[in-house]
Amino acid sequence: MVPTQCTYCNSVNVVWDYERGCIVCGDCGTVIDLIYQPHTPFNLQEDWMIRRSRGVDHGISLSKHTRMYLKLVRKASEYGLVVDNEVFKEYSLGRSPLVKVFKKPNVDLDKFASDEYVRLVLDLMVKYPRLASRTDRAKVALAKIALSSLLDEELDVKKLSRELNISEVHIRRLYKAVVSEFGFLDEVRKSLLNSFAKEVRYVSS
């Protein structure tokens, strides 16, 4: 939706800066959003700024690209996706067709990989091409699946799906891949036991 107030200070003094291509807060200067309108006549911006300075705001018609972008944002949100801004920018500048404009939101995989046991499983996974050739998200999911299986924990498919932006169907396929990979779970089990033993020795020393 079109921004009507600042997301930082909640001011309604929102300015459409066509020269710089962004929507900014007139009070604190926060950049609220981008304007996808690459060729806006200066007189349109000037007229807008004059009307703003006079306190007259009758609205301003959005460009074709801005309307399209906002429509895509609404559509993407229905499916838990986001608009790839770089793809849309290239399209709005006439450099490429509008393809693959939706993408999954970025996931901070580092927070998963920072887990000692997830890291351990990921390190072991490089020996198994069928698992190691997956995407980073899928490999983290494989590690979580392996750990839950070996630690007798119930796998929360829905939660893992939300955390990694992977479909539940995909996660179930990954589960089958883990249990069918000969020797992988055994190696993970041995490594976990060694790790646990080291922790026990460290605590008792």
Backbone angles phi, psi at 92, to 5 degrees: -65, -25
* Same domain for 73 and 121: no
DSSP-derived letter for residue 17 is E
For the chain, strand residue ranges (E) read: 14-17, 22-25, 31-34, 82-83, 102-103
Token look-up 């893992």 returns 160
Q: With 0.75 as the threshold, say if the pTM is over it.
A: no
Confidence of residue 141 (pLDDT cuts 50, 70, 90): very high
Would 6 be classed as within a structural domain?
Answer: no
Percent of the chain with pLDDT over 90: 11
Q: Which residues contact 136 (CB under 8 A, 6 or more apart)?
A: 109
| Domain harbouring 135, CATH code | 1.10.472
Cβ(45)–Cβ(22) under 8 Å?
no
Of 84, 103, 122, which residue sits at a domain end? 103
Higher pLDDT, 76 or 176: 176
Question: Percent helix, strand and coil across the chain, each rounded to 5?
Answer: 55, 10, 40
> Which residues form the domain of 57?
14-103
The pLDDT of residue 143? 92
Q: Which helix (H) or strand (E) holds 53?
A: helix 42-53
Sheet holding 31-34, edge to edge: 14-17, 22-25, 31-34
Q: pLDDT tens-digit profile of 40-75?
A: 444 444 554 545 554 444 444 556 777 788 788 888
Q: Do 39 and 116 fall into the same domain?
A: no
- Among the candidates 103, 131, 146, a domain finishes at 103
